[in-house]
Amino acid sequence: MSGLETLSPDQRAVLQLILVQGRGYADLAALLKLDPDAVRSRALAGVDALGLPAPDEVDAAERARIADYLLGQQDDGERIVTFAALTESPAACRWAQALRERLAGVAQTELPGVPHAPSANGHAPPAPAALDDPRSEHRGGAQNVGHPGAPRSQPSSRLGGAVLLAGIAALAIVLAVVLIGGGDDDGGSPTTAAQTQTSTQSTRTTATRQPTAAVLAQVNLNPTPSGGQALAFGIVQRSGGRLMFAVQAERLPANNAQELYALWLQGSSGASFLGFVPRPVRDQGTFTVTTELPVNARDYGTVLVTRESTTARPATPGMAILSGTLRLRA
């Protein structure tokens, strides 16, 4: 039994229309001649009335966001943010999983996925990976965060101000991790494992001391004709005088060790290679990485996620999977 049979008729009707027919809040508002906020309130009241124990660590606003996520009422950017936030909270993960199991008994399609909670010893999952440079002797591992589940609609690039603020919080941990190797244009010198370790320790210490930096750009990456259902969300912040770029992507086609994903900047003056995503994207179809942008990043107007057929440093971008506009604030 799902527990919906215990709800008031208006709450039960709204949840059933959402879960069985895949209706959205705005769609139901037009059907029922109600304000969309009133429809959402009924849906959230129905979720609360299911009687799932609410952990003290998960407040009403967070529970509402999780409910919107599981009911398929968030756009793709919001879903990425919610999924990322769940990876940081064991209590929220447990509550989301319990709610998902309760709603799954009614839903006619698979509900969005819930990540595994951080371990009981309090340690969070491994931090997102830094982009890998082919010149480095140290190849780091990409940390896949799982799959937020199949969407109820086609990908959308509509990310409002509230989504940006949530995205900043969700990707903050990414920007505290130093890149293993960059994609500078001068060829540079190889980075040794010892140098990488020292740099990483220094950066993490600095990140702990410094206040949250202002976001200089939000980048919404949408699929090219070769990208299928893929999409990604990124933010740029200044940290210690450097421009750091964090990207979280999902629904990417799987690849292998000989065919890696990479990030590029592209503009009228050419393309700048930022680095490889360290490990292949498997069936989860996701990655979260961070890298440093070059000092002339403002000379480029486009960010690309490409699929490279070589593990050597490419001279030009491979097949573009995702593309987004980069507009850096002064």
Q: What is the mean pLDDT of the chain?
A: 74
CB 207 within 8 A of CB 319: no
- Among 295, 324, 97, 320, which residue's Cα sits nearest to residue 182? 295
Give SS3 for 311: coil
By the 10 Å C-beta count (0-12 exposed, 13-18 middle, 19+ buried), 13 is classed as: middle
Q: Output the pLDDT for position 244.
A: 86
Q: In what order do the strands lie in the sheet with 270-276?
A: 129-130, 287-293, 242-250, 231-239, 215-223, 319-325, 302-308, 260-267, 270-276
| Residue 135 tokens, joined | 């010149």
Collect contacts of 183-190 with beta carbons under 8 A, ≥24 apart: 183/131, 183/133, 183/263, 183/264, 183/272, 183/273, 183/274, 183/275, 183/291, 183/294, 184/294, 185/272, 185/294, 188/135, 189/135, 190/135, 190/136, 190/137
The residues with which 220 forms a beta bridge, in sequence order, are: 233
| Residue 104 tokens, joined | 């799954």
Give SS3 for 3: coil
pLDDT tens, residue by residue, 3-15: 788 889 889 889 9
Give SS3 for 225: coil
% of the chain at pLDDT higher than 90? 32
Rounded average pLDDT over 258-269: 91
Q: Which region among 12-26, 113-127, 179-193, 224-238 has the lowest average model confidence (pLDDT)?
A: 179-193
Domain residue limits, the chain: 4-104, 129-325
| Residue 106 tokens, joined | 């009614």
Q: Which region among 45-49, 275-279, 306-310 has the lowest average model confidence (pLDDT)?
A: 275-279
Going by pLDDT thresholds of 50, 70 and 90, the confidence category of residue 76 is low
Whether pLDDT at 67 is above 90: yes
Going by pLDDT thresholds of 50, 70 and 90, the confidence category of residue 214 is low
Rounded average pLDDT over 144-168: 34
162 against 230, higher pLDDT: 230
Whether pLDDT at 249 is above 80: yes
What is the rounded CA–CA span in Å between residue 265 and residue 257? Answer: 23
Chain position carrying tokens 């989504």: 163
The residues with which 323 forms a beta bridge, in sequence order, are: 222, 304
Q: Which residues of 36-71 are buried (b: 16+ CB within 10 A; e: fewer)?
A: eeebbbbbbebbbbbebeeeeebeeebbbbbbbbbb
Going by pLDDT thresholds of 50, 70 and 90, the confidence category of residue 185 is very low
% of the chain at pLDDT higher than 70? 69
Rounded average pLDDT over 73-96: 83
Chain position carrying tokens 């410094």: 210
List strand residue ranges (DSSP E) for the chain, in order: 129-130, 215-223, 231-239, 242-250, 260-267, 270-276, 287-293, 302-308, 319-325
Cα separation values, 304 from 58, 267, 271, Å? 36, 11, 10
